[in-house]
Amino acid sequence: MDRRVAIVTGAARGIGAAVAARLARDGLAVAVLDLTSEACADVVADIRAQGGTAVAIGADVSDTAAVDAAVDRVVAELGPPTVVVNNAGILRDNLLFKMTDDDWDAVLGVHLRGTFLMCRAVQRHQKAAGWGRIVNLSSTSALGNRGQANYAAAKAGVQGFTKTLAIELGKYGITANAIAPGFIATDMTAATAERLGMSVAEFERGVAAVTPVNRIGTPEDVAHTASFLVSEGAGFVSGQVVYVAGGPKD
């Protein structure tokens, strides 16, 4: 079988970078996608240094033309993508009465519209191959989180969208699943600590204390889960939301 080709969005750092690196170690050729190709250069260099295959792609996932052009470039440089991990995301946290239209639209645009656009662009290649894996990043915030009405709505929408894809695309050999991380130590969570007026270390200690496994999560925790969900062995797992959160979530 030819090498599988994966697209990982929001892959210049954090969870996306860890997922891209893990999939490359698993033997996939990886398109490392973020707003600019320059932002992805270090991740691509690290993958290549480890003997993997990767290219840097710049695209705004909330823009239809940019997504379609990015996928076309992946086809030209690596081959048709049959794996997509939608991780691109931004935060515009605020309480409802302070949240602006732009705060709402920007977050829904990247998280939900971006996931839709990328899945729509990739599914035609998956159908042609008769095989595919879609992994969409949700969050425990989908269950509700103060100051994140926009983010929570987007991540809850990702879960419903993913379950629908599993129903629609399953007959083509395509699975669709969501990963819902809890607290994962990234630049985004560091920004949350700053917004709350806390040091990162103080914030992380507080989160670990109320997490059953008594630690915070790492990007690699999410990458391990993504690795399983895109594997051949996960072919009978579809339409699921996997909470990578150090404990049970309702």
Long-range contacts of 153-160 (CB under 8 A, 24+ apart): 153/108, 154/107, 154/108, 154/111, 154/112, 155/111, 155/180, 157/108, 157/111, 157/112, 158/86, 158/111, 158/112, 158/115, 159/241
Residues annotated catalytic, as ranges:
151
Intra-chain end-to-end CA distance of the chain, in Å: 40
Tell me how far apart the alpha carbons of residues 60 and 109 are, in angstroms, rounded to a whole number. 10
CA-closest candidate to residue 51, choices 2, 3, 1: 3
